[in-house]
Structure 1
Amino acid sequence: MSVHDQTARSIKLTYEEIEDEQLVIDSIVNATRPSTSTKRMHRVPEMLIRETDDYKKYYVPKVVSIGPHHFGDKKLELVEKLKPVFTMKLLSDNKESLRSLYKELGEPEMVQDLRNFYDENMVAKFCNKDFIKMMLLDCCFILYYIQSIFGEKPEDCLDLNSHVIVFLHQDLFLLENQIPFKVLREVMNLANIDCENKFKQFICGNILVPAKPEKKWLQSIPCIGNLQSSRGEQNMDFKDVDHLLHLLHRTLTKNARIPGMDLHPHDRCTFRNVNELIDVGIHFKPSGTMSLANIKFTKGRWWFTASVELPSVTVDDSTKPMLLNLIAYEMCSRNEAWVTSYICLLDSLIDHPEDVKALRKAGVLENSLGSDKEVTKLFNEIGTDLVPNMLAYLDAKNMIQKHYQSWSNTLISQLKHEYVKSPWAFFALLGALIALFLSSVQAYFTVWSPKGECDDLCMFLKKYHHL
């Protein structure tokens, strides 16, 4: 082999080694580099899918497919065939409006922007025309549903029975059943569809119970009363919303503030349920704010009493799938885990049906599900294996723990258990206290009673009684 061939071979080997080394370096850099993905339509995390049946029951749509994740499912064909019908009803059978919407959404920049919301593998099977058609039909279906559901007879407008409408409402808040909110805004603007107020009603009517304002004499006037009751719905922010589930999450956790790092958690929270806290003088009542992030602890007028304000939550058939999808969304996004933290808090407070009963009587829970036992099971199942934000509700939890472990409040709790809750023991204690009081009074007057007018005469007779 000539020197030239050896040199060429050595150079070739050197290049191959350098190339291999560069591949290794690139793989390491790419593996450690933080993700800069702009994908905002997520799949349910694997850690939440404990069983296949749970995934199908709580995360898969039952009547309608929205977006590409479950598109083409044969079980959803009934509503899929109705989407073109609802689209034309929304647009008042105006074909020109339909063409205009399709043209605007079909602009190359718009198509690419909408595709970027999803994982590339998820939308690769759709050509641009099919993708925009799906976005347009799903968007118009959602808008028509929201407009119709608040009418006098929504089942007549939707050509669907009430049972299907219930599942349809749940399907619109599934994590894997979303389209970009940008499409909804574009269609509302381009088609001049005004349903913002109905959008607010649609979002605010989930999970949280509307706060009941205090009755004041001004609210007896109809126009002022209506204004007062609608203030909570006027602050909804549609800016930078990814999808409907994101909008629901933002509404449920508005005004959320993580406390400063100077606050430290207590060693551990030793209280186990609602009734234990009631025993030490802590009572529950609904808060006046519509947010899961607001929990307030307040000392009472007496040193042994206190109150905890919790947002009122309604529990029905749609509560569990909605909460599970909100929790899944928090795991996929960078939002603070307020829903997760609230569920963990309720799970720590609810051990028995009696705890649900106490919260229901206090107005914190509204049970439309059935028995209190079912509600207990619901929160205990959802709260299993969840990890809350350690700083969420930290100030309130520290004050609850401090009140709970106070020796004086513990003593009062023991007295209530031993005497107040047992009638015969209570009467025995009351009789003993009365007897002790009377004995004390007798001893006092025996030792410290003042001299009377007959005392001197009695002493004289006692001294000279032998006469």
Structure 2
Amino acid sequence: MAKQNKPLLLNDLEARLEISDDLEARLENSDEDDVPLQSSCTIYKVPPQLRRVNQLAYTPSVVSIGPYHYGDSILESTQELKFWYFKKFLKRIPSKKPVDKLLEAVKGKEDEIRRCYSQHIKMCSNDFVKLIMLDASFIIEFLCASYESKSEEPSTAKPGTTSYLMLDLVLLENQIPFFVLEDLYKVCSPTSKISFLEITFDGLASSFLKNMYPTDMQIFCSKRRLHWGKIQQVQHMCDLLRTLYVLDKEQRDVDMEIKRSYGISQLKDAGIEFQPTDDRSMIEVQCFEGRRLEIPSIKITGWTEIMLRNVVAFEQCHHPFSHYVTDYIFLLDCLINTEKDVEILVDKGIIHNFGDNDKVAAMVNTLCDNVTARNSLRYSHVYKMLNKFYDPYYKNKATFVREHWSTPWKKLSLFGGILLLSLTLIQTICSVIPLFKK
């Protein structure tokens, strides 16, 4: 046995030396300042567990922005379109050497831009700077042209692609830092009274928000502008979309654990009324003592799932303790379980659906797949009230009201039954009394 152990020990020593040499070489080539995930990181790759649920929801279909999807062969055809916008953008810059102006602005913040990405970007400096400059110029020119002309389709875009292009601009993996966009916009419009944030806000409102909120867009936008200070702190366009969702949120006290939740159909059977609201943020669901659940109206379109998935993915990566949209999605998942639940909300004007109700229910029930929510008790008050209203006493009371007191005819029938029962009882008593007198 001893003779057999010697070669094993020798091989083990060689393996240890090889591992040691490999680690020492890596340590020599590494930089202590090269932190894998820094606090300045704001643009993330979607976690694999989320991507597996619906990969297409996180993948650009028309245009790649930034380094993550650069070089994708499917998106190569739009490179010419981006360059066309780049040439148009150069004409806006008041300089004889506009390209140099842009290069100077991007090159000076290259390190800061690289730190915004969660993954190490292996592109060389020249290629990275050129990529950021071209993509940023494309976004600025595209949004500025849309803001100035208010046209639905740019002259160079294929019919129907503009909507998908705008959708690509809010995907989490398809971002460049917003400060880059603002810096390059200042290069082309140094004296403009209109900020690039205002132009971007207008673009999102006209493209996305009007397709999610049934309310009047002028009212919606005016309310959001009351929080302009918070909007100015956005990191990128996906973050801006999330900010517009949660701007006028109210603070909630966390005071309980969620023991059980009930679907819309069950709550309706318990006598709870559902009321749509158009004057609050999408996530501001409220429940009142009058057995009334108020839910902001929302439109369900082909874009809804993509937008919500990317905002939730951003919260998973960047807002682990303030995941307001994620909490909202968990609440919807509790309330909506079947096609009947969706049908009730559609009838109440809470959901404006342009498809099949069963598909909406399926979409809502998969939005939370593989999503984690730490201390997800933002709606603890809502859950507490709904559990209270589903108590057997309230449920039986609601059943009685629904079956015997919901219409004038049912009320009349109940009174008639009570009157008939009373007369029968009186007649019985009157017929029994003489027997006792004998």
**C-alpha distance 210-233 of structure 1, shift in aligned 2 (>3 A):** farther
Counterpart of 2:257 (choices 265, 276, 281) is 265
1:345 equivalenced with 2:343 (yes/no)? no
In structure 2, the residue matched to 1:124 is 122
Give CA deviations for 1:393-414 in whole Å, capped at 9, x if unaligned: 111221121122151x211233
Q: Indicate conservation of the 8 Å contact 1:101/1:191, yes or no.
A: no
Q: Which amino acid aligns with 2:376?
A: M
For structure 1, the residue ranges without an aligned partner over 5 or more in a row are 1-15, 214-225, 301-305, 448-467
- Shift of residue 376, structure 1, vs aligned partner: 1.2
Q: Indicate conservation of the 8 Å contact 1:147/1:198, yes or no.
A: yes
SS at match of 1:241: coil
Give CA deviations for 1:152-172 in whole Å, capped at 9, x if unaligned: 4331x2421342222212211
**C-alpha distance 128-260 of structure 1, shift in aligned 2 (>3 A):** same
Counterpart of 2:245 (choices 249, 252, 274) is 252
**C-alpha distance 446-97 of structure 1, shift in aligned 2 (>3 A):** farther
Q: Indicate conservation of the 8 Å contact 2:265/2:344, yes or no.
A: yes
Q: Which amino acid aligns with 1:124?
A: K
1:135 equivalenced with 2:132 (yes/no)? yes
In structure 2, the residue matched to 1:71 is 70
- Shift of residue 443, structure 1, vs aligned partner: 8.1
In structure 1, the residue matched to 2:8 is none
Q: TM-score, normalised by structure 2?
A: 0.77
- Shift of residue 135, structure 1, vs aligned partner: 1.3
SS at match of 1:142: helix
In structure 2, the residue matched to 1:286 is 276
- Shift of residue 177, structure 1, vs aligned partner: 0.6
Q: Which amino acid aligns with 1:38?
A: S
SS at match of 1:154: coil
1:412 equivalenced with 2:397 (yes/no)? yes
- Shift of residue 332, structure 1, vs aligned partner: 0.9
Counterpart of 1:161 (choices 158, 161, 185) is 158
Q: TM-score, normalised by structure 1?
A: 0.73
In structure 2, the residue matched to 1:209 is 213
2: CA distance, partners of 1:35 / 1:170: 27
**C-alpha distance 143-361 of structure 1, shift in aligned 2 (>3 A):** farther
For structure 2, the residue ranges without an aligned partner over 5 or more in a row are 1-16, 433-438
Matches within 5 A, 1:152-231: 152-155=150-153, 157-192=154-189, 194=194, 195-204=196-205, 205-206=208-209, 208-209=212-213, 211=215, 230-231=221-222
2: CA distance, partners of 1:106 / 1:309: 47
1: CA distance, partners of 2:145 / 2:280: 25
Q: Indicate conservation of the 8 Å contact 1:148/1:154, yes or no.
A: no
In structure 2, the residue matched to 1:432 is 417
Counterpart of 1:320 (choices 305, 319, 334) is 305
Counterpart of 1:47 (choices 46, 49, 64) is 49
Q: Indicate conservation of the 8 Å contact 1:254/1:293, yes or no.
A: no
In structure 1, the residue matched to 2:84 is 85
In structure 1, the residue matched to 2:101 is 101
TM-align CA RMSD: 3.7
Matches within 5 A, 1:379-394: 379-388=364-373, 389-394=375-380
In structure 1, the residue matched to 2:7 is none
**C-alpha distance 265-165 of structure 1, shift in aligned 2 (>3 A):** same
In structure 2, the residue matched to 1:10 is none
In structure 2, the residue matched to 1:461 is none
1: CA distance, partners of 2:343 / 2:212: 18
In structure 2, the residue matched to 1:403 is 389
Q: Which amino acid aligns with 1:45?
A: P
Q: Which amino acid aligns with 1:323?
A: L
**C-alpha distance 209-119 of structure 1, shift in aligned 2 (>3 A):** closer
**C-alpha distance 400-163 of structure 1, shift in aligned 2 (>3 A):** same
Q: Which amino acid aligns with 1:364?
A: I
1: CA distance, partners of 2:215 / 2:379: 20
- Shift of residue 134, structure 1, vs aligned partner: 1.4
Query: How many pairs does the alignment contain?
Result: 392
- Shift of residue 97, structure 1, vs aligned partner: 6.5
1: CA distance, partners of 2:80 / 2:41: 29
1: CA distance, partners of 2:172 / 2:157: 24
Q: Indicate conservation of the 8 Å contact 1:145/1:158, yes or no.
A: no
Q: Indicate conservation of the 8 Å contact 1:59/1:325, yes or no.
A: yes
Q: Which amino acid aligns with 2:152?
A: P
Matches within 5 A, 1:55-66: 55=55, 57-66=56-65
1: CA distance, partners of 2:79 / 2:277: 41
2: CA distance, partners of 1:46 / 1:321: 16
SS at match of 2:68: coil
- Shift of residue 327, structure 1, vs aligned partner: 1.4
**C-alpha distance 74-257 of structure 1, shift in aligned 2 (>3 A):** same
In structure 1, the residue matched to 2:316 is 331
In structure 2, the residue matched to 1:274 is 264
- Shift of residue 252, structure 1, vs aligned partner: 0.9
Counterpart of 1:363 (choices 338, 349, 363) is 349
Q: Indicate conservation of the 8 Å contact 1:42/1:332, yes or no.
A: yes
SS at match of 2:98: helix
1: CA distance, partners of 2:261 / 2:198: 45
Give CA deviations for 1:166-191 in whole Å, capped at 9, x if unaligned: 22122111111100011111122221
- Shift of residue 244, structure 1, vs aligned partner: 0.7
- Shift of residue 347, structure 1, vs aligned partner: 1.4
1: CA distance, partners of 2:141 / 2:429: 85
In structure 2, the residue matched to 1:453 is none
Q: Which amino acid aligns with 1:295?
A: V
**C-alpha distance 201-49 of structure 1, shift in aligned 2 (>3 A):** same
Q: Indicate conservation of the 8 Å contact 2:103/2:133, yes or no.
A: no
